[in-house]
Amino acid sequence: MGTYQELGIKRIINCFDTYTLLGGHTLCKDVREAIDEANRSWAWIWDIQRKTGERIAELLGAEAAFVPVGVYAGMAQCVAALMAGADPKKMKQLPNTNGMKNEVIAQKCLRDFQYDRSITVTGAKIVEVGDEKLGCTPPQMEEAITDRTAAIHVMAHGPTGSYASKDCRWLSVEEVIRIAEKHRVPVLVDAAFQCYPVEGFRKYTAMGADAALYSCKYFGGPNTAGIMIGKKYLIDLVALHSFIGQEGASRGKEFLSEAERGTYGSLFRGYKQDRASIVGAFAALKWYTELMRDPDGNVLDPARKRAGYFMRAFNGIPDIELGIIDASMEGVDPLKIALKVTLKKRTSEEVKKIRDELMNGNPEIWVEAKDNSLIINITSFRGLMMFDEEDKKIVAERVGKLLKA
């Protein structure tokens, strides 16, 4: 009996997306093997973190790197590090920020209240600039910088949701860095899913950002990890503000004496990493960067083959129209491969009922329902396969049965 079965948990075949509510992405063989190796034996956690960071920095051409629990945790650690530095008294004082630079500037149109609360959990205050609909101008950004400014925060993906207006003119990361350098203010970039093309890992630090943060689930890594790359001074401070900081971050392999233990009172015990997540992050990054640099350009061939399998499986079913959403289609993410099944005689509500029936099965099958079409996503939008060869047969059988009903 499997663990899911023992616990009464229904397995999900994900033809939808890599949402955290589904646990992020599945892990490839390389990542699973790295995680298994880490789980089988102990190693000094700081040694793992430091050496993994060195290899990640080398891979991405950065000064330094660190593996936080995720982008949210990493951003909080950056802000705390910039406010308290290496001052033990200030570190223990957080989230009370009296006597510190404690303001982080953010463009109002780029606010994301789910994620940028990572700034305020440290005790820092967000200073909004510009207009939520119209954006922000360079003078507005400069006027907001004061002697209390600890950093400027930028969401690399631009405005989302209700803020995504054609009239919105926000400041790009490059523009923000130009202003920040003039006033000697650090810039922190939330680049969580800017992993494709692979150059996305390099561009913000190359521009001069003090730190850029990425979520590992977007390149096939553990959902419990992110990568932070940036300037060595800040990465070193973040390490000190990690939960292991007081146990050796500043002293190499020489343990602190009993009297010294607790000198650096980190705020982030609750953001602690484990061996498996750290090495899993590195293994995923290495695997992904090699995959995406395939010189023959065959990254999507397995996904196209799988789409063809579904086309054959559903061929001949009456009153449906089949189409492959492929990289060649205008306006579609360049690495998106999906099958679009249009039910010509069904309403959007009827299609939603089919989707719900798939989601209520065992295993559950999660697909998109858009208008009168079912969308079976074969890859995530970074070209990674969403489900395996065995699951494709279950999807074909279950969806085919409902299409014929």
Q: Is 377 helix (H, G, I), strand (E, B) or coil?
A: strand
What backbone phi and psi angles, to 5 degrees, belong to 134? -95, -20
pLDDT at residue 257 in the model: 56
What is the number of other CB atoms lying within 10 angstroms of the CB of residue 403? 18
pLDDT single digits (tens) 277-312? 999 999 999 999 998 887 666 788 889 999 999 999
Residue-wise burial string across 187-204, b where 16 or more C-beta atoms lie within 10 A, e elsewhere: bbbbbbbbbbebeebebb
**Strand arrangement of the beta sheet that strand 368-370 belongs to:** 320-325, 338-343, 373-377, 368-370
Q: What residue ranges in 216-256 does DSSP mark as E strands? A: 226-230
CA–CA separation, 125 vs 132, rounded Å?
A: 18
Query: Among 50-59, 193-202, 329-338, where is mean pLDDT lowest?
Result: 329-338
CA–CA separation, 394 vs 6, rounded Å?
A: 22
- Classify 42-292 by CATH class: alpha beta
CA–CA separation, 119 vs 186, rounded Å?
A: 14
pLDDT single digits (tens) 229-245? 999 999 999 998 988 76
Q: Locate 363 and state its tokens.
A: 């295993």
Q: Where are the domains of the chain?
A: 3-21+298-404, 42-292
pLDDT at residue 232 in the model: 96
* Residue 278, C-beta contacts closer than 8 angstroms, at least 6 positions apart: 38, 45, 48, 49, 52, 67, 225
pLDDT at residue 35 in the model: 96
Q: Locate 386 and state its tokens.
A: 């969403």
Contact yes or no for 388/17 (Cβ under 8 A): no
pLDDT at residue 332 in the model: 58
pLDDT at residue 36 in the model: 96
Structural domain 3-21+298-404, CATH architecture: Alpha-Beta Complex (3.90)
